[in-house]
Structure 1
Amino acid sequence: MIGLELAIVLGAIFLGARLGGIGIGFAGGLGVVALAVLGVAPGNIPWDVILIIMSVIAAIAAMQVAGGMDYLVGQAEKLLRKHPKYITYLAPMVTYFMTLMAGTGHTAFSTLPVIAEVAKEQGIRPSRPLSISVVSSQIAITASPISAAVIFVSGILEPLGVGYLQLLAITIPTSLAAVLLTSVVANRLGCELKDDPVYQERLAKGQVTIRGEQKLEILPHAKLSVGLFLIAIVAVMLYATAISPTVGLIEKPVMPRNDAIMAIMLSAATVITLLCKVDTGKVLNAATFKSGMSACVCVMGVAWLGDTFVAAHIDGIKETASTLLDRYPWMLAVVLFFASMLLYSQAATAKALLPAALLLGVSPLTVIASFAAVSALFVLPTYPTLLAAVEMDETGSTRIGKAVFNHPFIIPGVLAIGLSVLFGFLLGGLVL
């Protein structure tokens, strides 16, 4: 029966990938139903992860309606246009820190058009900065102080003596260093733009245009909304640190960390709405709100499906995998890589597999070092930010090959994750 059940799980994930977007969440629910028909009891729905995503997205959407996102994009464009020759190095830093601050990689949507345009104007192959920027926005989730994935991993590691700050002290420098080194390699991938036959063909047909700098209208309260959101992030970090057993400033907190994050983020949304005079009706139509709610459904469906299968066979999985992981701990990163490729969510992948890994006796160091591997969302060329990068590149340099996997995101993505895992083992061994 386990073979049939695994086939149902993989079939549901494949169907969801074909449907695209929120469809993978739909298909996850279908998979749970199919497993229930076979007598498998449904697993746990990751409500904590879903609620954290919802609350963070609520604050980000309020900030976007107040003009904060346009303000940040404007600042990013100024930076890139000031140093256009270094766009392959600067662009991934922009998407990395925007994701680090927001806790969601969907913030990259707003900067990808700017990256593509500046590269094109300078005669730089746009696939170079676009590919590493998309990868950077995905891997930064594992370093964001307010991402659902980081909060979940921190929660399962704290009983083992690894605090919130220790986790961030490893994931932030290792992922950032990996992105920086990968951008050097990405800057040499593919032929020069002027030598690309697809670009030359589009240029001859008049399909490539130079738009120049875009003048965004910055709303009066844009800067204030960004400032309020940053204060909320700092408040989350301070509270999570204060209640951490390794710090012990607050021994008996009134609110656990997850509840505090949700309350602080919703409070931030309230203050932004009041002080920045935000129309709450517009929040529901904000791009970040829609993408965030879509992510919640995806996490619910695929994580529920994954937990259902794993919980039903945890004893067998322990017996099979414990020896292998004990002998080759880096194999956890490989498992997380391929799982996230199918699950399309860092939080869902972490929720589905990392608790089981710890039950198998995997060390906290291995979990933290392998954590970056949950960011392999770029492998299948159907992830929203990846598709957006392809569509926004008029030159055709950021294209998906006939073999599906031969697209410009593969090499930067695999390299960035590989380096981050390697650095994680090295730095983690010093910190822990």
Structure 2
Amino acid sequence: MLWLEVIVVLGAIFFGARLGSIGIGYAGGVGVLILTLGMGLKLGAMPIDVILIIMSVIAAIGAMQVAGGLDYMVSIAEKILRKNPKQITFLAPVVTYVMTFFAGTGHTAFATLPVIAEVAKEQGIRPSRPLSIAVVASQIAITASPISAAVVFVSGALEKQGIGYLELLAVCIPSSFLACMCAAVVANFLGKDLKDDEVYQERLAKGLIKTRGTAKVEIKPGAKLSVVIFLVAILCVITYATLISGKVGLIKNPVLGRDAAIMLFMFAAATFISAFTRIDTAQVLNSSTFKSGMSACICVLGVAWLGDTFVANHITEIKAFAGDLLNVYPWMLAVVLFFASTLLYSQAATAKALIPSALLLGVSPLTIVASFAAVSALFVLPTYPTLIAAVEMDDTGSTRIGKFVFNHPFIVPGVVAIALSVAFAFVIGGMIL
């Protein structure tokens, strides 16, 4: 019966992956239905906390986007990239990492990908090099963002182990950023130079290579103010989390917990942005960030609920099978998280589905913190939205998916970035935690 349940779980995930996008959440719900009503398993816990955080953060980002804040941030990023075009492979991941870090979602990379592709092409640099590591950096930065649902969930899970929100960020921020920059060095040597690429030469001969130019996007009057309000809200989140943390403890018995505070600060940011920039709040519902965020909520609900339902009913068997293995080889947790995230397509869903199980198995907090970056292996299957967008933005053909599916430009920089992030986090965590 256990193996049949495993088949149901994996089957739901694979079928959902084939449906694409929000479909994995749909299929996850079907899997829960089969496991409970069909097989009699006890219903697992719904990831309500993660979903509410995603919703509140996306509500604020959606308001900022309508106010023109994202366009303003992209304009700054474009100036940085065009000022140092020869260093595009190293600056591109810095830009996408920072934008994800502050926004809590990797979908902010969409707006910068055309600029990265164009600047690289203008300099005769193979666009797949900066595009690949830029996409990877936008995914890994989720595990370092102070307002991402994945970080908030993992920090909450580790609080009982004596590791708080600030300690998690203190390890994940430097380890993930350094890993991305090291991976950028590797990406800079991948593939033939653009002038030697046969596909590029063929497309050039056919007149398929176009120059998009430097058309300027009009920055709305309230754009800068919306960004300032949003950044102040993030600062408030970090400050409040510091004041109520057990290590600092300046606020005893806080009225608001950290999760509730994040939600309320984000709602406050959305309110102030809407009021002071005078946006039409109805437009927020149609913004790309709002749509992608709500899609993420459905995916997390279905997949994490499916994972918790299965694990909660078989934790004894899982302990017997995996407990000793993880105690002897703690780095195996990173491997498990890596492969799980390739199918679950969400850092938050992967963390919610597996981190609690790892804690129940007795895995050390240091191992969990160090392995956390491995939930960002969303680049393995070439079907993730930002990855597909990078392929489409590069008309030179250098950023292409190979015949064997997995042989694409993102795989090597991605694996290197995650492997190094885990390794660096073990070292930094060993000194801090």
TM-score for both structures, normalised by structure 2: 0.99
Shift of 1:214: 2.3
The answer to whether the 8 A contact 1:60-1:102 is kept is yes
Shift of 1:316: 0.3
Partner of 1:118: 119
Partner of 2:359: 358
Structure-to-structure mapping, 1:258-277, within 5 angstroms: 258-277=259-278
Partner of 1:96: 97
Shift of 1:286: 0.5
Partner of 2:84: 83
The answer to whether the 8 A contact 1:95-1:133 is kept is yes
Partner of 1:28: 28
1:205 aligns with 2:206: yes
Deviating more after overlay: 37-46 vs 172-181: 37-46
1-structure distance, mates of 2:9, 2:383: 19
1:162-217 Cα deviation digits (max 9, x unpaired): 12111111000000000011101100000011111111111111111112212010
Shift of 1:340: 0.7
2-structure distance, mates of 1:422, 1:369: 7
1-structure distance, mates of 2:9, 2:387: 25
Partner of 2:411: 410
1:80-109 Cα deviation digits (max 9, x unpaired): 111100000000000000000000101011
Partner of 2:338: 337
1:233-256 Cα deviation digits (max 9, x unpaired): 000001111111121111100011
2-structure distance, mates of 1:14, 1:390: 23
Give the counterpart letter for 1:326 in structure 2.
N
Shift of 1:387: 0.6
Partner of 2:2: 2
Partner of 1:385: 386
2-structure distance, mates of 1:259, 1:201: 56
1-structure distance, mates of 2:170, 2:98: 15
The answer to whether the 8 A contact 1:162-1:246 is kept is no
1:228-284 Cα deviation digits (max 9, x unpaired): 000000000011111111211111000111111101101100000000111011100
Runs of 4+ in 1 over 4 A off after TM superposition: none
2-structure distance, mates of 1:8, 1:126: 41
1-structure distance, mates of 2:409, 2:39: 41
Q: Where does structure 1 lack aligned partners over 5 or more consecutive residues?
A: none
Structure-to-structure mapping, 1:87-166, within 5 angstroms: 87-166=88-167
Give the counterpart letter for 2:106 in structure 1.
G
2-structure distance, mates of 1:198, 1:174: 36
2-structure distance, mates of 1:105, 1:211: 24
Give the counterpart letter for 1:107 in structure 2.
T
Structure-to-structure mapping, 1:14-93, within 5 angstroms: 14-36=14-36, 37-93=38-94
TM-score for both structures, normalised by structure 1: 0.99
1:348 aligns with 2:337: no
Partner of 2:283: 282
Structure-to-structure mapping, 1:161-200, within 5 angstroms: 161-200=162-201
Partner of 2:306: 305
2-structure distance, mates of 1:44, 1:381: 31
Shift of 1:220: 0.5
Partner of 1:219: 220
The answer to whether the 8 A contact 1:161-1:246 is kept is no
Q: Secondary structure, in 3 states, of the residue corresponding to 1:337?
A: helix
Deviating more after overlay: 206-215 vs 275-284: 206-215
Shift of 1:41: 2.2
Give the counterpart letter for 2:422 in structure 1.
V
Partner of 2:427: 426
Partner of 1:373: 374
The answer to whether the 8 A contact 1:174-1:424 is kept is yes
Give the counterpart letter for 1:244 in structure 2.
S
1-structure distance, mates of 2:369, 2:290: 29
Q: Secondary structure, in 3 states, of the residue corresponding to 1:284?
A: helix
Identity in percent = 71
Give the counterpart letter for 1:429 in structure 2.
G
Aligned Cα root-mean-square deviation (Å): 0.7
2-structure distance, mates of 1:263, 1:241: 16
Shift of 1:30: 1.1
1-structure distance, mates of 2:177, 2:94: 8
Q: Secondary structure, in 3 states, of the residue corresponding to 2:286?
A: coil
1-structure distance, mates of 2:408, 2:121: 19
